Amino acid sequence: MLSTGHKGAYVRWSDYSSKLTEKFTCKYLRGEIQQMKDGFQRLVVGISGASGVIYGIRILEILRDIEEVETHLILTNAAKQTIGMETDFSAGEVEKLADHSYPIKDISAGPASGTFPCDGMIIAPCSIRTLSAVANSYSSDLLTRTADVTLKEKRPLVLMVRETPFHLGHLRLMQQVAETGGVIFPPVPAFYNKHKDLDEVISHTAKRALEQAGIEIEEMDRWTGPLG
């Protein structure tokens, strides 16, 4: 149930934990952990309802082509609306880009537990509402619970916070998350690469964010000094 290639498969924490008592599944869990040690990575991708849902979509598109990375997607209800307003994707099409996706209210899903084998989490974009919930451990849905679990387990948590301008309250929330170990990664484009178009800017920012979450990107446009 946790292996790659099962697009849209669904993992409940209750299913997962009850099976831990079975010999087969204990072996299976150990196998999963072993797989992660052997270069296999599992990342939770959250998409909230801020502007810039294309960043989360691009991240899923990039990871779809990296066989060693398994994606677990959580979309908020606002994200589903913003996807419809800002892109040509439907929420269902976005969900199909991930290996697994979960309903936002299912706090019994695997990623809600610290024992779920996972390498990190990225929320792209991250709304101020979601930032606030993460900063205050207000874990009322699966996205914010998983982010809190990621912090307490000391795994990388990258928040692509999108708002402008920020008031002092927003800045304080970001400070709180940074103090707890999260990475605040607003989608601020780099211009030194002389990108041809917005699409390239989006890809570059998505790849930079992924590297912050511990995913190595081979095809990364890197600055190597003015002489190239």
Binding site for ligand FMN (CB under 6 A): 48-51, 76, 78-79, 81-82, 85, 127-130, 162-163
Closest approach of Cβ 5 to ligand FMN, in Å? 29
Q: Pick the closer one to ligand FMN by CB: 2 or 44.
A: 44
Helix, strand or coil, per DSSP, at residue 105: coil
Q: Pick the closer one to ligand FMN by CB: 56 or 156.
A: 56
Residue 160 Cα distances to 48, 185, 190, angstroms = 10, 5, 15
φ and ψ of 119, to 5 deg = -100, -15
Q: Which amino acid is at 72?
A: H
Closest approach of Cβ 45 to ligand FMN, in Å? 14
Q: Pick the closer one to ligand FMN by CB: 79 or 174.
A: 79
Residue 69 Cα distances to 54, 139, 167, angstroms = 20, 26, 36
Closest approach of Cβ 86 to ligand FMN, in Å? 6
Contact between 141 and 75 (Cβ < 8 Å): no
Closest approach of Cβ 81 to ligand FMN, in Å? 6
How many Cα neighbours within 13 Å face the side chain of 11? 23
Q: Pick the closer one to ligand FMN by CB: 28 or 138.
A: 138
Q: Pick the closer one to ligand FMN by CB: 188 or 227.
A: 188
**What is the C-alpha separation between 32 and 113, in angstroms, rounded?**
16
- The residue at minimum Cβ distance from ligand FMN is 49
Provide the token pair at 36.
Answer: 């992660």
**What is the C-alpha separation between 82 and 86, in angstroms, rounded?**
6
Closest approach of Cβ 163 to ligand FMN, in Å? 4
